[in-house]
Amino acid sequence: MSVIIKPVITEKLSRLQEQDKYTFEVVKNATKPEIKEAVEAIYPGVKVAKVNTAIMPSKPKGRYTRSGYQGGRTKVWKKAIVTIKEGEIDFFAEI
């Protein structure tokens, strides 16, 4: 089972890439050393300097449909912000 689920690409996180910080959605029970090993294995030539993690809480989410309001919540997920010391990650290139 892979530790990294997918890269997270938003406008705010794209600005962090200029500082060599990349963000990934990871498995909730993944540790920082496991995340570091997974990033270095997936992207050859990349050396990880630091890994910061955060559990993103569930938020209310709803929408109006023909039958009325349909409420719900987003999922709880873990985010890892990885600082790179050498190399570069290109999310849009084929792996």
pLDDT tens column, 63-78 = 888 888 888 999 999 9
Report how far residue 81's alpha carbon sits from residue 93's, in angstroms, rounded to the nearest whole number: 20
Residue 79 lies in a domain: yes
Residue 92 lies in a domain: no
Q: CATH number of the domain that 12 lies in?
A: 3.30.70.330
Report how far residue 63's alpha carbon sits from residue 65's, in angstroms, rounded to the nearest whole number: 6
Residue 67 lies in a domain: yes
Number of domains in the chain: 1
**Cβ within 8 Å of residue 8, ≥6 positions away:** 23, 24, 25, 79
Which domain range does residue 63 map to? 4-86
Q: What is the pLDDT of residues 7-17, one digit of tens each?
A: 999 999 889 98
Residue 25 lies in a domain: yes
Residue 44 lies in a domain: yes
Residue 28 lies in a domain: yes
Residue 93 lies in a domain: no
Q: What is the value of pTM for the model shown?
A: 0.83
